[in-house]
Amino acid sequence: MPNPNRRQFARRLVLAGLGGAACASYGLGLARGAESSAASAEAAPSIPKEEPFLLTPKPPAEPRINGPKVAGVRPGHEFIFRIPCTGERPMQFAADNLPKSIALDPIQGILRGPAPQQRGEYVVTLRAANRRGKTSRNLKIVVGDMLALTPPMGWNDWYCWYDKITEQLMRQAADAMVKSGMADFGYQYVNIDDCWMVKPGDPDPMIGGEPRDAQGRILPNKRFPDIKGMVDYIHSLGLRAGLYTSPGPLTCARFEGSYKHEEQDARQFAEWGFDFLKYDWCSYQQVAGGSDLESLQLPYKRMSNILQKLDRDFVFNLCQYGRGDVWKWGAEVGGHCWRTTGDVGLEKDARLPGFYSVGMKNAEHWEYARPGAWNDPDYILIGIVGPTRSKDRTPRPTPLTPHEQYSYMAMWSLMAAPLFFSGDMNRLDEFTLNVLCNAEVIEVNQDPLGKQARIVRKTDDDFVLAKPLEDGSLAVGLFNLAETARQMTVSWNELGLSGRQRVRDLWRQKDLDAAADQFSAKVNRHGVAMVRLWRAP
Ligand code: GLA
């Protein structure tokens, strides 16, 4: 329901220049009297113009190792891991107790090589040093059957490039993941979505033509002249590569699907060297034979059985929009993550931007998430993106306000969601990187305990999430859904805590005063306060 007071609230907020106490010292400025030109007077209430502001402090010049503390790999399969580490370059890396089969590039900080055949936990001490200092941190490599022990992080091209994706753009995205510093925070997968294959019957010679060769092998379209070379290139940067297909005859964008070629295609993907497969339901419905649970599960079971026989590890992402309560059985059929809703870019909500409703639906399934099995609420649609709901999908700046973007990232992190940015990697601005690259926020997402936040409170105006972390602390997000800045409070009682708690503001990476029985903060319109609480000594 549209909020009748929204315009009035927004105006009041703008005129009062309310940044909220919690933000005041961080340069939050609301442009007075300015309203977004995107908001048409009749169709939607006005949105206060918020200038971008930076919450995440710059990483220190000294080395700091970020990202996952645990990684899974199958025995003997290739392990590729770029040590996520911020700090001044040049940097020198070392790794103690590294299994002999895995090599370290000490300059780039890339670990690569076959995992040991022997199953078990290998605790490697990663070390990084530069002229400013040194640091070390353990990485537990778990050789066994489990992959994606923390939510996968990376980039997917869909919401920027759609059917315009090219090999060159993918290579550029991989370069940008390193150059922008995203890889230093744990972003690792560089994934092509739909439209890398041939589109049967399309008159454009770049994408039309024969979808398979005489042996039935799937062919990339002409925008991908050297797909194997592209994957090798992504790997040479210490990153991993992903791709998309459908169990149906066609993909959602009506390109060639894998129907009746499942095994052949999976083998081809492994031969090319891919590490991640998104498997979309599209057009499979025509051949599914039913909508009962068994029919819903069948294509995913079939593909995961194939993937498990390959000599490469594939993180398997089920994309069937939550049908049949996939969170209840996604892991059983071999999925490592599964979309819980329709496309985030298509979601409409009269009151709030679409990611809130997708996020809030995804949040309900918190009990099902665990290491190797994640609820996936779709990509992080910020920065320069191509609007899905418009005929003209030319990438342009997100209409989300800065507060909404910090909320988006906080919500996905608390939900232990796969973190895939899907905006333009060639036009990453300082603000977008500030949202995507906060080591303490990401640490919550990547926490090895692998719990998804539970919903503590959900009302028209409040959404509160709490995620238990491995060290016994609790990460809490207070999301203000209302149209004006408000004081928000959560008690220890609601959070199941007792006693004095040390409080850290995660976006600002700053300790706040310890608190006896509640946390309270002024939170901006559609903004978030994200804190971590530890029992105070
Ligand atoms: C579906 C998926 C999207 C994207 C497109 C590609 O809509 O949900 O994430 O992969 O297909 O066509």
Determine the Cα–Cα distance for residues 241 and 314; give it in Å rounded to an integer. 10
Note the pLDDT of residue 4: 34
304 and 270 in a common domain? yes
440 and 503 in a common domain? no
278 and 361 in a common domain? yes
Confidence of residue 253 (pLDDT cuts 50, 70, 90): very high
214 and 134 in a common domain? no
Q: Does residue 362 contact residue 465 with C-beta atoms inside 8 Å? A: no
| 3 state DSSP class of 142 | strand
474 and 430 in a common domain? no
Confidence of residue 29 (pLDDT cuts 50, 70, 90): very low
Note the pLDDT of residue 350: 85
The rounded Å distance from CA 33 to ligand 1 centre is 39
pLDDT (mean) for 16-39: 29
**What percentage of the chain carries pLDDT values higher than 70?**
91
350 and 243 in a common domain? yes
Instruction: Tell whether ligand 1 has an atom less than 6 A from the beta carbon of residue 343.
Output: yes
Determine the Cα–Cα distance for residues 49 and 67; give it in Å rounded to an integer. 33
Check residues 8 and 456 and name the one with the higher pLDDT.
456
| Of the residues 106, 123, 143, the one at which a domain ends | 143
Q: Is residue 175 part of a domain?
A: yes
Candidate from 192, 199, 282 with most ligand 1 atoms within 8 A of CB, to mutate: 282
Note the pLDDT of residue 5: 36
520 and 400 in a common domain? no
Q: Is residue 55 part of a domain?
A: no
403 and 302 in a common domain? yes
Q: Is the peptide bond before 90 cis (omega within 30 degrees of 0)?
A: yes
483 and 416 in a common domain? no
CATH number at residue 467: 2.60.40.1180
Q: Is residue 181 part of a domain?
A: yes
Note the pLDDT of residue 120: 98
CATH number at residue 422: 3.20.20.70
Crossing angle of the two packed helices 262-272 and 293-309, in degrees rounded to 10: 40
| Of the residues 143, 177, 201, the one at which a domain ends | 143
Instruction: Tell whether ligand 1 has an atom less than 6 A from the beta carbon of residue 447.
Output: no
User: What's the domain range around 17?
Assistant: 6-43
Q: Is residue 52 part of a domain?
A: no
| Of the residues 120, 143, 166, the one at which a domain ends | 143
CATH number at residue 137: 2.60.40.10
The rounded Å distance from CA 376 to ligand 1 centre is 13
Total domain count for the chain? 4
Check residues 176 and 12 and name the one with the higher pLDDT.
176
Determine the Cα–Cα distance for residues 66 and 185; give it in Å rounded to an integer. 5
pLDDT tens, residue by residue, 330-370: 999 999 999 999 999 999 888 999 999 999 999 999 999 99
Note the pLDDT of residue 46: 64
Nearest CA to ligand 1 atom 9: 343
pLDDT tens, residue by residue, 302-323: 999 999 999 999 999 999 999 9
471 and 438 in a common domain? no
**What percentage of the chain carries pLDDT values higher than 90?**
89
Determine the Cα–Cα distance for residues 175 and 172; give it in Å rounded to an integer. 5
Note the pLDDT of residue 294: 97
**Atom number of ligand 1 nearest to Cα 253:** 12
Confidence of residue 37 (pLDDT cuts 50, 70, 90): very low
Determine the Cα–Cα distance for residues 387 and 193; give it in Å rounded to an integer. 16
pLDDT tens, residue by residue, 230-241: 999 999 999 999
pLDDT at 9 over 90: no
437 and 301 in a common domain? yes
Q: Is residue 56 part of a domain?
A: no
Distances (CA, A) of 185 to 295, 415, 446: 39, 18, 11
Cα 529–chain centre separation: 20
Q: Show which residues are catalytic.
A: 280, 343
226 and 134 in a common domain? no
The rounded Å distance from CA 456 to ligand 1 centre is 31
Q: Is residue 132 part of a domain?
A: yes
Of 21-30, 224-233, 433-442, 450-459, the least confident: 21-30
Q: Is residue 381 part of a domain?
A: yes
Q: Is residue 48 part of a domain?
A: no
Note the pLDDT of residue 48: 77
